[in-house]
Amino acid sequence: MSEMHLAQLNVGRLVAPPDDPEVAEFMAALDRVNGLGKRMPGFVWMMEGSGEPGTGNTENHIGDDPQFVANLTVWTDVNSLETFVWNTVHRQFYERRHEWFQMLSDQHFVMWWIPAGHRPSLEEALERLDHLRSKGPSEHAFGWAEVPQARLWRTHNCAIQAAE
């Protein structure tokens, strides 16, 4: 079997447009947090925006709604992603997500395995999320609960809220 990597998509809807002062602290931290992620062991790839300072990849919004943003990354394994999410400054922003993101009623986070070297498109990732929403977890699309080796997620008592 060829080597597999872990892709993840996280979608969220900002409480205000990206240039609004209400989300300024979050937007100002994107470059720092994303830059840290890119330097983490196990990081493979991230869907990027224009590269303009302070935009992260929020320009990759969903549909015609600039407040509905997506984060799509690839990691070598679950532990690498989990370490970034829970053992870096990312955790501080995750724990404050309710300040910048609306509460979503639908599942907003999905993971799936891809062949090493594959770069998933936003469309592919959204299809995985739709599959998880409509059919539940499977090998095609799953969440943290379906990954037995994801220990940090369990100990941090993740609730489905705004944006993971």
Which of 97, 117, 86 minimizes the C-alpha distance to 11?
97
Provide the 3-class DSSP secondary structure of residue 72.
strand
Does 164 fall in a domain?
A: no
Is 132 within a domain? yes
Q: What is the CATH number of the domain that holds 72?
A: 3.30.70.100
Residue 111 gets which letter from DSSP?
Answer: E
The arithmetic mean of pLDDT across residues 4-14, rounded, is: 95
User: pLDDT (tens digit, 9 = 90+) per residue, 13-66?
Assistant: 999 998 999 999 998 888 889 899 999 999 999 998 655 555 555 556 677 888
- Domain assignment of residue 119, yes or no: yes
Residue 99 has which token pair?
């300040």
Q: What is the pLDDT of residues 71-115, one digit of tens each?
A: 999 999 999 999 999 888 888 888 888 999 998 878 889 999 999
Pairing of strands 65-75, 4-13: antiparallel
Q: Look at residue 162 and tell me if it is in a domain.
A: no
Determine, yes or no, domain membership for 124: yes
DSSP structural state of residue 45: E
Which domain, by its residues, includes 60? 4-155
Task: Give the total number of structural domains in the chain.
Answer: 1
Asked if residue 69 lies in contact with residue 61, where contact means CB atoms within 8 angstroms, the answer is yes
Domain assignment present for 161: no
Residue 13 lies in a domain: yes
